């Protein structure tokens, strides 16, 4: 269905800075008539002009907003849908924080343009004091800043569905296989602070979270999540939320499927049962092999993907690092293993830093490739003891036509000539 | 840990708690932030309709009334008979004997429609009222939403063509596959579900 982002198209490349030379600054070029082409530009775009020796002339002056190097142009894709998704280019990123302008998007009726001075959050229903909060009100509460991933429930549909329909698609990139997950530092107020302020009543068991976009997207959430770690966030990576991420305020339910992290949050209603909105019945429910459909499947299972090397890389013989991301909606990543022989043997990868709960964790391992064909895989284990399953195991327990929450082990096939292709049959 | 170590740890925790307590004690139960929401302000936003009928407005409509509205306002995207325009505009109508087993997970090509999948009829009303039609959401009257809901349910053989839907009769509609929906039983641990 539409929500799963089935019809991903090839990633389009944003036109490079129209005037690459202009970005360098006229001053930098004035004394350097000899310009050379850079070596690392994108295949599709001509390399930007650079001075022959950047130490022999002053560079560009200060500016209001920083821009990426003219040699670097990661982009989301696909783009252009008001009810659709764009994915994060995981293969272009390092570390764990997703740059805000590359955070994946899913919209059901486009990105609304909202005046923060006009926007309010209404809390009503089973509360003693129905209350309207402005953005300024929210910022006066005790605040929290936490790093969490958000992953769309449909992340991975392209790799899953393509296989089901018998289309082997080795041309998928990490962005297309798993790019509907992103990781940010979020700042906001704990939802329980707002509910306590409004006087949430003891018999409230569910709440409805509703967005202020043209879809009025709404999800029913158990009250336990509100009292646990739910946040009403207004900032992302040190600045106000991006419009695509819910400006001026969004719900953040750490570890839960992306759709429940309601953007442009305008209303919270406390009640005693779920509302059964379209997004928790017709969609975001998971058909199972036994002829049922799983509902309110909030938590994202542990998952990982190698982002380097990956398609469309061509690698060279010798030592290199294998690197990727792992995450779990239930807690911390406890272990990531890597196989270079299609899952026959596994070795523990190194986890960078201290894994945070419900956050992306970067893993790496050195590998000495000597030219033989190889299939690389990663397998995550979280601190509940859950181990990322193979595709075959997921099909066994859920069925080939299941939807959402795809977390199979993914592989990359390295050909003898060094070219790398997606390998989804695990 | 030795007893001495344990005592030291207890003392350390006690000491840190002691540092924190005076500050916490200074914080009130409430910060008295935000404005009291009036009944009118709540009513202006509170549009949800639930399976128990809470939130369903006055009004009513029949499948035949809905058919005319559908043709005028919905068919351009969802097709003359609700067949949809995949993948952008979902199929709304479609239910046959092959749906009886609810075998979506066995066959990924099976398309989920209102008739063969949606567990609650009120969700149809709630969704249309929230956001349809896509290019002018919120433009339909409650009467039109009742009529469109009636049309779509009748087209899926869920209600007779003669049914007039209002809040009471909509709540009474039992969707064919409602009993197929189960709550999440995944709990982490080593078990893959």
Chain A positions in Cβ-Cβ contact with residue B105 (cut-off 8 Å)? 287-291, 398-402
- Residue A114: the pLDDT is 98
Tell me, yes or no, if A141 comes closer than 8 A to chain B by beta carbon: yes
**Among A residues 198-227, those touching chain B with beta carbons less than 8 Å apart:** 198, 208, 210, 214-218
Contact (Cβ atoms closer than 8 angstroms) between residue A249 and residue A188? yes
Rounded Cα distance between B129 and B138, Å, is: 6
Chain B positions in Cβ-Cβ contact with residue A165 (cut-off 8 Å)? 108-109
SS3 for A16? coil
Residue with tokens 């894994």: A355
Please report the ipTM that was assigned to this predicted complex: 0.88
Task: Render each residue's pLDDT in chain A as its tens digit; 426 residues.
Answer: 344 433 333 333 333 333 333 333 333 333 333 333 333 334 556 788 899 999 999 999 999 999 999 999 999 999 999 999 999 999 999 999 999 999 999 999 999 999 999 999 999 999 999 999 999 999 999 999 999 999 999 999 999 987 655 556 899 999 999 999 999 999 999 999 999 999 999 999 999 999 999 999 999 999 999 999 999 999 999 999 999 999 999 999 999 999 999 999 999 999 999 999 999 999 999 999 999 999 999 999 999 999 999 999 999 999 999 999 999 999 999 999 999 999 999 999 999 999 999 999 999 999 999 999 999 999 999 999 999 999 999 999 999 999 999 999 999 999 999 999 999 999
Tell me, yes or no, if A246 comes closer than 8 A to chain B by beta carbon: no
Chain A positions in Cβ-Cβ contact with residue B101 (cut-off 8 Å)? 291
- Residue B87: the pLDDT is 84
Asked if CATH classification 1.20.1560.10 holds for the domain at B47-180, the reply, yes or no, is no
**Subunit contact A386:B189, Cβ cutoff 8 A:** yes
Q: Name the CA dihedral angle for A18, A21, A26, A32, rounded to a multiple of 10 degrees.
A: -170
Tens digits of residue pLDDT in B20-50? 455 556 888 899 999 999 999 999 999 999 9
For the stretch A378-395, what's the b/e string if a residue is b when 16 or more beta carbons lie within 10 angstroms of its beta carbon? Answer: bbbbbbbebbbbbbeebb
- For residue A285, the distance in angstroms to the closest alpha carbon of chain B comes to 8
DSSP state of B37: P
Tokens describing residue B187: 């709990």
- Residue A21: the pLDDT is 35
**Subunit contact A122:B45, Cβ cutoff 8 A:** yes
Tokens describing residue B4: 């001495």
**Among A residues 327-366, those touching chain B with beta carbons less than 8 Å apart:** 330-331
Tell me, yes or no, if A289 comes closer than 8 A to chain B by beta carbon: yes
Interface test with B, best of A154, A194, A275, A400 (most B CBs within 10 A): A275
Where chain B has pLDDT below 70, the residues are 1-25
Beta pairing, strands A420-423 & A84-86: unpaired
- Residue A168: the pLDDT is 60
Q: Which residue of A has its CA nearest to B34?
A: A133
Residue with tokens 């990123």: A93
Domain boundaries, chain B: 47-180
Q: What is the DSSP string of B127-188?
A: HHHHH-STTSTT-S-HHHHHHHHHHHHHHTTSS-TTPPB-HHHHHH---TTGGGEEE-----
- Residue A166: the pLDDT is 56
- Residue B46: the pLDDT is 97
Rounded Cα distance between A6 and A156, Å, is: 10
pTM of the model: 0.89
- Residue B99: the pLDDT is 84
Q: Which H/E stretch holds residue A51?
A: strand A49-51
How many Cβ atoms sit within 10 Å of the Cβ of residue B2?
7
What is the number of H-type helices and E-type strands within chain B? 7, 2
Task: Find the length of chain B.
Answer: 193
Closest of A304, A218, A302, A294 to residue A261, by C-alpha: A218
DSSP state of A396: H
Q: What is the CATH number of domain A303-423?
A: 2.60.40.650
């Amino acid at each position: 269905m539409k929500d799963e982002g089935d019809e991903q198209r090839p990633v389009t490349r944003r036109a490079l800075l129209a005037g690459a030379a202009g970005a360098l600054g006229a001053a930098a070029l004035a004394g350097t008539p000899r310009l050379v082409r850079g070596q690392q530009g994108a295949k599709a775009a001509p390399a930007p002009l650079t001075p022959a020796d950047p130490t022999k002339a002053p560079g560009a002056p200060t500016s209001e907003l920083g821009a990426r190097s003219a040699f670097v142009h990661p982009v989301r894709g696909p783009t252009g849908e008001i009810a659709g998704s764009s994915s994060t280019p995981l293969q272009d990123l390092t570390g764990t924080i997703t740059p805000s302008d590359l955070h994946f998007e899913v919209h059901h009726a486009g990105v609304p343009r909202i005046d923060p001075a006009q926007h309010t959050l209404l809390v009503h229903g089973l509360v003693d004091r129905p209350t309207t909060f402005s953005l300024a009100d929210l910022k006066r509460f005790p605040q929290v800043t936490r790093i969490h991933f958000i992953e769309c429930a449909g992340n991975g549909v392209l790799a899953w569905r393509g296989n089901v329909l018998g289309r082997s698609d080795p041309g998928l990139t990490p962005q297309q296989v798993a790019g509907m997950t992103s990781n940010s530092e979020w700042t906001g107020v704990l939802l329980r602070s707002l509910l306590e302020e409004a006087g949430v009543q003891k018999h409230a068991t569910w709440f409805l979270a509703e967005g202020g976009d043209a879809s009025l997207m709404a999800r029913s959430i158990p009250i336990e999540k509100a009292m646990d770690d739910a946040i009403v966030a207004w900032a992302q990576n040190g600045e106000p939320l991006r419009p695509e991420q819910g400006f001026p305020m969004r719900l953040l339910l750490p570890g839960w499927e992306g759709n429940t992290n309601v953007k442009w949050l305008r209303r919270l209603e406390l009640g005693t049962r779920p509302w059964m909105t379209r997004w928790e019945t017709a969609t975001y429910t998971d058909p199972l092999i036994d002829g049922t459909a799983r509902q309110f499947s909030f938590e994202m299972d542990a998952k990982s993907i190698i982002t380097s090397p990956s398609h469309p890389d061509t690698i060279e013989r010798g030592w290199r690092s294998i690197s990727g991301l792992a995450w779990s909606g239930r807690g911390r990543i406890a272990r990531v293993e890597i196989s270079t022989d299609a899952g026959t043997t596994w070795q523990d990868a190194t986890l960078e830093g201290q894994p945070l709960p419900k956050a992306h964790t970067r893993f790496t391992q050195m590998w000495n490739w000597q030219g033989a064909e190889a299939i690389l895989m990663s397998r995550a284990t979280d601190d509940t003891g859950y181990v990322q399953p193979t595709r075959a195991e997921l099909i066994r327990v859920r069925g080939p036509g299941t939807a959402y929450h795809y977390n199979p082990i993914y592989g990359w096939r390295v050909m003898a000539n060094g070219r790398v292709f997606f390998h989804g049959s695990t | 840990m030795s007893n001495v170590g344990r005592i030291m740890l207890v003392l350390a925790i006690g000491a840190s708690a002691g540092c924190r307590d005076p500050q916490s004690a200074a914080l009130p139960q409430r910060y008295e932030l935000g404005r009291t929401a009036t009944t009118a302000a709540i009513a202006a936003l509170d549009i949800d309709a639930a399976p128990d009928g809470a939130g369903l407005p006055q009004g009513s409509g029949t499948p035949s009334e809905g058919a005319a509205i559908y043709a005028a306002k919905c068919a351009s995207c969802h097709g003359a008979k609700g067949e949809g325009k995949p993948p952008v505009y979902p199929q709304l109508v479609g239910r046959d004997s092959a749906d009886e087993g609810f075998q979506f997970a066995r066959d990924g090509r099976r398309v989920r429609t209102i008739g063969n999948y949606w567990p609650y009829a009120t969700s149809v009303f709630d969704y249309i009222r929230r956001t349809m039609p896509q290019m002018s959401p919120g433009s339909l009257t409650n009467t039109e939403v009742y009529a469109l809901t009636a049309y779509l349910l009748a087209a899926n053989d869920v209600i007779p063509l003669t049914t007039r839907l209002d809040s009471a009769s909509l709540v009474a509609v039992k969707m064919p596959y409602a009993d197929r929906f189960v709550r999440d039983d995944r709990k982490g641990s080593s078990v893959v579900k």
